[in-house]
Amino acid sequence: MKLTPYEQDMINGKHGESKRIAMEKLVEFGVAVDAKEMVKLSNVHYGTCTLMPRSTPEYSKYELGQTPLIERFIEMGTRVTEDPTCIVSTDPLFLQLDKYDEQGYPWNHRRYKMPKVIYDAVVRGYNECKKMGMVLSQSCTPQFNTVIPKMGEYVVSVESSYAAYINSILGARANRENTVTLLYAAITGVHPKYGTMLDENRRAQVIFELADEVKENLFDPADWAALGAAMAIKSNNRVPAVLNLPRPLTNEAAKLLTGCASPGMNDPMLHLIGLSPESPTLEAAFGGKVPKDVEKFTITLADVKEIYQMLCSAKNEKVDIVHVGCPHLTYYEIRQIARLIEGKKVNKNVYFWAQTDTPSYYLARHHGEAQVIEKAGGKIFHSTCFGLLPLRDWGSDLNIATNSFKQIKLFGGQGQGWMFGAMPDLINAALTGKFVSTRWK
């Protein structure tokens, strides 16, 4: 691989043993993926860190793959790159740390409480990451509050929906990476250039055009999740170019639409023609002339309706949990929830959980939406991810309702019944204990 003088100095040990080890491993990985050079990163989005001994009984349920590796660097007193142009941010934890003992949250409810040994391991991981110099965002949507990569910059991320947003909306170049090379990248500030960092892997390969009936009827955040799911399924792991999108595109629409790439496609990339910075035209998305034999789909309302139906696997209307916030809710989504639930009461047999990032949580608390949700009997929380919990331990007799394609696709195979719906129907399910979809009737 071709290395810059600074990269060569790192591998030669001139900037310390930690950087030498990390750089050496990145070069090995780069050779394996046939990368020709490294790229300088503006952001490394690292995974949650739960530090526990391998002998811990719950180790296999909660260890996400990086403990042995990061502990080695912790013992060495390693710090992440101190280059001010590269931010090392972090993904969600298993729980909101200051709410561990409060009942009614996903980590502490009638069927389950996170073991104390895991809580202690999360706290230790949090503190060690802080010592290493990481920015503790604990968010799957850092693009809304922590770091906003710009056109042409390079990013590596443990969170695939974030990588898709970067590639599709911001025009930066991001790979969804593994927790091992992410740590090496956090220490060095560089990563092998491959995958969707390369021009040839970013070009569109299939075309989707929204029928006018779809363009004119995308009202609820769930509609955008369903639209993304319809395209992801039909794309068959090809990078899509999307025509006839409504303008302007809200942050919420962009978040849920690009989030389809997380569970539905190999490459975290969509060309939203006229919206994506590098795709002002269809020709630009294809890197030149559009191939004559390119496959083209028209997305109709029937396609969107089919996704709503397909994502519902529950065998009855009874709902036990309503969860929203995958990816994390924006403040505007929290406002929508507060308007719908204000003055009402969540059914005593239902958990209503609203999950967001830390800045949005405190904004909602400052302006009162959080209190509205809590007064109604719901829970609003931050810093965590519902999907990180061992849902398989909760039993297979639960029905969970959400508006997230990503959540059902990634976490829906652990025995529970799932329901997919628009926000008004989800709120109604939380109030009545029964889920009835009215969005596309």
Read off φ and ψ for residue 326, nearest 5 degrees: -130, 100
246 and 102, same domain (yes or no):
no
Q: Which two tokens stand for residue 76?
A: 């060495």
Residue 424 included in any domain: yes
3-state SS record for the chain: CECCHHHHHHHCCCCCHHHHHHHHHHHHHHHHCCCCEEEEEEEEEECCCCCCCCCCCCHHHHCCCCHHHHHHHHHCCCCCCCCCCCEEEECCECCCHHHCCCCCECCEECCEECCHHHHHHHHHHHHHHHHCCCECCCCCCHHHCCCCCCCCCEEEECCHHHHHHHHHHHCCEEEECCHHHHHHHHHHCEEECCHHHCHHHCCCCEEEEECHHHHCCCCCHHHHHHHHHHHHHHHCCCCEEEECCCCCCCHHHHHHHHCCHHHHCCCCCCEECCCCCCCCCHHHHCCCCCCCCCCEEEECHHHHHHHHHHCCCCCCCECCEEEEEEEEECHHHHHHHHHHHCCCCCCCCCEEEEEECHHHHHHHHHHCHHHHHHHCCCEEEECECHHHCCHHHHCCCCEEEECCHHHHHHHCCCCCEEEECCHHHHHHHHHHCECCCCCCC
368 and 380, same domain (yes or no):
yes
Query: Does residue 39 contact residue 177 with C-beta atoms inside 8 Å?
Result: no
Q: Which two tokens stand for residue 379?
A: 């829970």
Q: Which one has a higher pLDDT value, 150 or 57?
A: 150
Looking up residue 344, the CATH number of its domain turns out to be 3.30.499.10
Does 349 have pLDDT greater than 90? yes
Q: How confident is the model at residue 263 (pLDDT cuts 50, 70, 90)?
A: confident
Q: How confident is the model at residue 330 (pLDDT cuts 50, 70, 90)?
A: very high
Give the position of tokens 């559009």: 290
122 and 214, same domain (yes or no):
no
Tens of pLDDT along 165-206? 999 999 999 999 998 999 999 999 999 999 999 999 999 999
285 and 340, same domain (yes or no):
no
Looking at residue 206, its pLDDT comes to 97
Q: Mean pLDDT, to the nearest integer, of 401-424?
A: 94
Tens of pLDDT along 277-298? 999 999 999 999 999 999 999 9
193 and 225, same domain (yes or no):
no
Does 262 have pLDDT greater than 80? no
275 and 315, same domain (yes or no):
no
252 and 375, same domain (yes or no):
no
Compute CA 147 distance to the chain's CA centroid, rounded to the nearest angstrom: 14
Q: Which residues pair with 428 in a beta bridge?
A: none
Cis check: omega of the bond before 246, within 30 degrees of 0: no
Looking at residue 264, its pLDDT comes to 83
- Residue 344 structural domain: 311-432
Whole-model pTM: value is: 0.95
Q: How confident is the model at residue 67 (pLDDT cuts 50, 70, 90)?
A: confident
Residue 382 included in any domain: yes
218 and 358, same domain (yes or no):
no
Residue 209 included in any domain: yes
Strand arrangement of the beta sheet that strand 206-210 belongs to? 271-272, 240-243, 206-210, 296-299
C-alpha distances out from residue 169 to 146, 217, 250, 278, Å: 16, 22, 11, 9
Residue 408 included in any domain: yes
Which pairing describes strands 87-90 and 38-46: parallel, antiparallel, or unpaired?
parallel
423 and 296, same domain (yes or no):
no
Q: Mean pLDDT, to the nearest integer, of 256-273?
A: 90
Residue 437 included in any domain: no
Tens of pLDDT along 96-134? 999 999 999 999 999 999 999 999 999 999 999 999 999
Residue 438 included in any domain: no
Looking up residue 16, the CATH number of its domain turns out to be 3.30.499
Measured on CA atoms in the order 316, 317, 319, 324, is the torsion positive or negative? positive
Q: Which one has a higher pLDDT value, 174 or 388?
A: 174
Q: How confident is the model at residue 271 (pLDDT cuts 50, 70, 90)?
A: very high
Looking at residue 72, its pLDDT comes to 93
Q: Which two tokens stand for residue 127?
A: 């503190």
Cis check: omega of the bond before 277, within 30 degrees of 0: no
Residue 417 included in any domain: yes
Q: Which two tokens stand for residue 184?
A: 């090496």
Neighbours of 265 (CB within 10 A): 22
Q: How confident is the model at residue 6 (pLDDT cuts 50, 70, 90)?
A: very high
176 and 303, same domain (yes or no):
no
169 and 41, same domain (yes or no):
yes
Looking at residue 265, its pLDDT comes to 87
Residue 440 included in any domain: no
175 and 252, same domain (yes or no):
no
Q: Mean pLDDT, to the nearest integer, of 36-53?
A: 94
Does 440 have pLDDT greater than 80? no
- Residue-averaged pLDDT of the chain: 95
Domain end point (choices 308, 327, 347): 308
Domains of the chain: total:
3
Neighbours of 28 (CB within 10 A): 13
